[in-house]
């Protein structure tokens, strides 16, 4: 089994959106400057004996050309080269999107479900609660500024079949799907058991290493803060159980140490 790390560009944003209260005023210093940081947008391709599994799809290539509402473009501007487009990252692994029959979406925010339109032929696994939340958000009114981080056109995509996940299960030998709610009503992570050791992919359960250690820190976007911290402790238990490596969702400095396509882990 092989695990490919696909680097599909990066976002920028205020660090307070990622680590809550990163910059906070005090009586002595009531006005503080925000920290503007880079967030890599990662997807993961797993080659198994049963076929390829894609975990998340990154951002739509036209995000900054009208696919996203203006407020999202301003708060989370996307930077992406031609090489970093998802289909080109997949090609670096020696296959095409049409060769992938199974997709897992950690959740349905714009930086994770942005290329679902490339996989209308596939079985797509989504967190049941977040699928409901996303559909409610994009259908309550036509004002895209009230849809949060969900994009209606992405929610309209039909695939071979959506599979709604509400419990942990084994997707393929050596690949476990785990529920990590909190950031969104439902969020999925993967535990991948490679020959070289176990890797945990928690996605937005853990934006940065700073959210995890030495002590858990909340993010600026939490649907359920109690569930969020429980999910972090679930990751911690699994890390200890398997002596696993964690690949954090959006940690720019951390990913400088990670092998990305065309290299892989096995």
Q: Averaged over 86-111, what is the pLDDT?
A: 98
pLDDT at 186: 94
In a domain, 216, yes or no: yes
Q: The domain spanning residue 163 has which CATH number?
A: 3.60.15.10
In a domain, 183, yes or no: yes
pLDDT at 24: 86
> Residue 239: which pLDDT band, with cuts at 50, 70 and 90?
very high
Q: Is 132 exposed, middle or buried (0-12, 13-18, 19+ CB in 10 A)?
A: middle
What does the alpha-carbon distance between residue 45 and residue 178 come to, in Å, rounded to a whole number? 17
pLDDT in tens, 76-85: 999 999 999 9
In a domain, 266, yes or no: no
Q: Residue 61: how many CB atoms within 10 A of its CB?
A: 19
88-92, 99-103, 220-224, range with the lowest pLDDT? 220-224
In a domain, 253, yes or no: yes
In a domain, 262, yes or no: no
Q: Residue 162: how many CB atoms within 10 A of its CB?
A: 15
Residue 141 has pLDDT above 90, yes or no: yes
In a domain, 138, yes or no: yes
C-alpha separations of 70 from 74, 75, 102, 202 in Å: 6, 9, 32, 29
The percentage of the chain sitting over the pLDDT mark of 70, rounded to a whole number, equals 100
Please give the angle made by the CA atoms of 145, 146 and 149, to the nearest 5 degrees.
Answer: 80
pLDDT at 266: 95
> Residue 256: which pLDDT band, with cuts at 50, 70 and 90?
very high
Q: Based on the structure, what is the number of domains in the chain? A: 1
Q: Name the residue range of residue 152's domain.
A: 2-25+34-257
What does the alpha-carbon distance between residue 18 and residue 2 come to, in Å, rounded to a whole number? 30
- Tokens representing 105 are 């979406």
Q: Are 129 and 185 in contact (CB under 8 A)?
A: yes
In a domain, 158, yes or no: yes
Q: Residue 230: how many CB atoms within 10 A of its CB?
A: 13
pLDDT in tens, 204-213: 999 999 999 9
> Residue 50: which pLDDT band, with cuts at 50, 70 and 90?
very high
Residues in Cβ contact with 140 at an 8 Å cutoff, skipping those fewer than 6 apart: 146
pLDDT in tens, 17-42: 999 988 988 899 998 888 999 999 99
In a domain, 265, yes or no: no
- Tokens representing 207 are 């934006």
């Amino acid at each position: 089994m092989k695990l490919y790390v696909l680097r599909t560009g990066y976002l920028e944003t205020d660090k307070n959106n990622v680590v809550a209260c990163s910059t906070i005023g005090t009586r002595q210093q009531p006005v503080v400057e925000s920290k503007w940081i880079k967030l890599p947008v990662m997807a993961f391709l797993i080659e198994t004996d049963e076929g390829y599994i894609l975990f998340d799809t990154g951002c739509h290539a036209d995000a900054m050309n009208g696919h996203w509402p203006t407020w999202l473009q301003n708060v989370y501007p996307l930077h992406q080269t031609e090489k970093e487009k998802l289909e080109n990252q997949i090609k670096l692994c020696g296959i095409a999107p049409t060769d992938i029959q199974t997709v897992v979406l950690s959740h349905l925010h714009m930086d994770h479900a942005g290329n679902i339109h490339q996989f209308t032929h596939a079985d797509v696994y989504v967190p049941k609660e977040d699928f409901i939340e996303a559909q409610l958000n994009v259908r309550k009114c036509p004002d895209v500024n009230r849809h949060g981080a969900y994009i209606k056109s992405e929610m309209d995509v039909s695939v071979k079949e959506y599979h709604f996940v509400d419990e942990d299960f084994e997707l393929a030998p050596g690949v476990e799907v785990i529920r990590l709610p909190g950031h969104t009503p439902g969020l999925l992570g993967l535990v991948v058991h490679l020959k070289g050791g176990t890797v945990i992919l928690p996605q937005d359960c853990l934006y940065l290493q700073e959210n995890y250690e030495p002590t858990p820190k909340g993010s600026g976007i939490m649907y359920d803060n109690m569930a969020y911290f429980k999910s972090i402790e679930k990751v911690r238990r699994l890390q200890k159980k398997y002596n696993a490596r964690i690949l954090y969702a959006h940690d720019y400095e951390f990913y400088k140490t990670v092998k990305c396509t065309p290299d892989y882990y096995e």
